[in-house]
Amino acid sequence: MPHKHGLSHALAAFVCTLVASLLACILKDYLPIHLFFRAGQYLTAMLGLPYSGDVLSIALITTILAFIWGVAFYYLHEER
């Protein structure tokens, strides 16, 4: 199975990272994206990571997008 779906997972991670960055920049005036930035800053401070809160906020958005992509992929390729 990995040889069939490995490329799609790699592509999903790459696309989700790009789209998350773009969405955060474009939609920050219209949606409560600032909550992700606050969560990223909180995680950075709590865990003592050497990354900025902005980087972790993009990672949070990327994780959500990857989850949605994975659920959609599962239902689209479900064996019937």
Q: Parse the chain into domains and list their residue ranges.
A: 21-76
Torsion sign over Cα 38, 43, 45, 51? negative
What is the pLDDT, as a whole number, of residue 5?
67
pTM, whole model, 2 decimals? Answer: 0.63
Note the pLDDT tens digit of each residue in 17-35.
Answer: 787 778 777 777 776 777 8
Cα–Cα distance measured from residue 38 to residue 2, given in angstroms and rounded to the nearest whole number: 36
What is the pLDDT, as a whole number, of residue 37?
81
Cα 20 versus chain centre, distance? 6
Q: Which residues of the chain have pLDDT under 50?
A: none
